[in-house]
Amino acid sequence: MPPERAAEVRAALVAVVPAAVAVIPFGLLLGALAAQKGLSPLEVMLMSALVFAGSAQFIAVDIWTHPAPWLLLTVTALLINMRHLLMGASLSPKIRHFGTGRSLLALFTMVDETWALCEQRSASHRVNFAYMITMGAVLWVNWVATTGLGAAIGALMGDPATYGFDFAFTAIFLTLVVGLWRGPRTGVAIAASAAAAALVHLLFDGPWYIAAGGIAGALTGAVYGPFDEAVAEAAE
Amino acid sequence: MGDLFAQWAASGAFDVDPLTLLAIAGMGLVTYATRMGGWLATRRMVLAGRARAAMEAVPAAVLTAVITPMVLVTGPAETLAAAVTVLASLKLPRLVTVAVGMAAVVGLRAVMY
């Protein structure tokens, strides 16, 4: 492996380890819940391998009945994963140099954590394909294995809230938001997003609050206007 | 090993129900479509001005929205633990920060609820 690529892989492993560790109890729990709903370990692993989206899978397992309401499950997954549209549009200019085939592969592994880490890295580095795909592959293998294991060993897991694991992703995302800070404009976008998301979450069931927050943040960005790099550099 | 495998198979570990498979395929397809769609729609676009500023605000906004129910709408322990996490993240590595945040939420829940 060329040394530059090895360095990208190392950086990706360092960046992704906290997320991979944090996801283990959730993988076990999801597998156990799915097994209680009558899904076999192989079905759970197939779902994790092909869908690879934690929040969508938790909600799917929650509404799962037999026979599987496949249309409802499909539409629900679509709604919960709508945020990927915004994420992909935002990442698009940073991975333009990947080429089509590599982009399609890397995007299959785009989950909240890999996307946010790539966005963060794009501030200081060119986002490398090896960087993104290493993080994606680690989380994918981790997810398929832990959900399958959870389904095989069943409901041995307690409630993750006991050890604060239900807060682990919130904590990870908070550190990522801090890493995305670019001055007051970021603060305004965060405030608008939080206000819109909280309001929509209180008023409507379902994952609409994520789109509401993302769109509110984008609108504040447009109102705030273009980031002038010359002014920012002069101010430093 | 072979015996264990046979036992698992007999217990239904490798069963796949056709409708379950259809549901998984449907969920997988739409999820990949969302992952690809935003990139596909914008890959030839070079954004400038306010459109670019809007797109640059998206990462922090989407991450904030995802955690808003936990941070702002769950209860005071979670809100305070989030503040502790942000403060910790200014000084500490990410893994330590996450551990601090989890410890904070367990401690604050014990004290406040």
B interface test, pick of A47, A100, A174 with most B CB neighbours within 10 Å = A174
**Partner B, chain A 124-183, Cβ-Cβ below 8 Å:** 152, 162-182
Mean pLDDT, to the nearest integer, of B91-111? 92
pLDDT at A124 over 50: yes
Mean pLDDT, to the nearest integer, of A189-201? 96
pLDDT at A206 over 80: no
pLDDT at A113 over 80: yes
Residues A128-174: tens digit of each pLDDT: 999 999 999 999 999 999 999 999 987 565 666 777 877 887 898 89
Mean pLDDT is lowest, of A54-58, A225-229, B59-63, for A225-229
Mark yes or no for CB contact A83/B62 under 8 Å.
yes
Question: What is the distance between the alpha carbons of residues A105 and A93, in angstroms, rounded to a whole number?
Answer: 16
Question: pLDDT-derived band of residue B46, with 50, 70 and 90 as boundaries?
Answer: confident
Task: Compute the CA torsion angle A147, A149, A152, A155 (nearest 10 deg).
Answer: -70
Mark yes or no for CB contact B50/A89 under 8 Å.
no
Average pLDDT over chain A, rounded to an integer: 89
Q: How many CB atoms neighbour CB A193 within 10 A?
A: 32
Mean pLDDT, to the nearest integer, of B25-42? 96
pLDDT at A236 over 50: no
Mark yes or no for CB contact A170/B97 under 8 Å.
no
Would you call A85 exposed, middle or buried from its count of C-beta atoms within 10 A (0-12, 13-18, 19+)?
A: buried
What is the pTM assigned to this prediction? 0.79
Rounded to the nearest angstrom, the minimum Cα separation between A3 and chain B is 25
Single-letter amino acid code for the residue at B52:
R
The answer to whether A123 faces chain B, any CB pair under 8 Å, is no
Question: What is the distance between the alpha carbons of residues B53 and B58, in angstroms, rounded to a whole number?
Answer: 9
- What was the pLDDT predicted at A229? 56
- Whether ipTM > 0.85 holds is no
Q: What is the 3-state secondary structure (H, E, C) of A90-115?
A: HHHHHHHHHCHHHHHHHHHCCCHHHH
Q: Tell which residue, B41, B64, B32, has the closest CA to residue A212.
A: B64
Residues A24-60: tens digit of each pLDDT: 988 988 898 898 888 999 999 999 999 999 888 988 8
% of chain A at pLDDT higher than 70: 93
Residues of B in contact with A204 (CB under 8 A): none
Residues of B in contact with A216 (CB under 8 A): 61
Would you call A4 exposed, middle or buried from its count of C-beta atoms within 10 A (0-12, 13-18, 19+)?
A: exposed
- What was the pLDDT predicted at B40? 94
- What was the pLDDT predicted at B31? 97
pLDDT at B48 over 50: yes
Question: pLDDT-derived band of residue A80, with 50, 70 and 90 as boundaries?
Answer: confident
Residues B70-97: tens digit of each pLDDT: 999 999 999 999 999 999 999 998 888 9
pLDDT at B34 over 50: yes
Mean pLDDT, to the nearest integer, of A85-94? 94
Closest Cβ–Cβ partner in B47, B54, B86 for A178: B86
pLDDT at B15 over 90: no
- What was the pLDDT predicted at B1? 57
Single-letter amino acid code for the residue at B101:
G
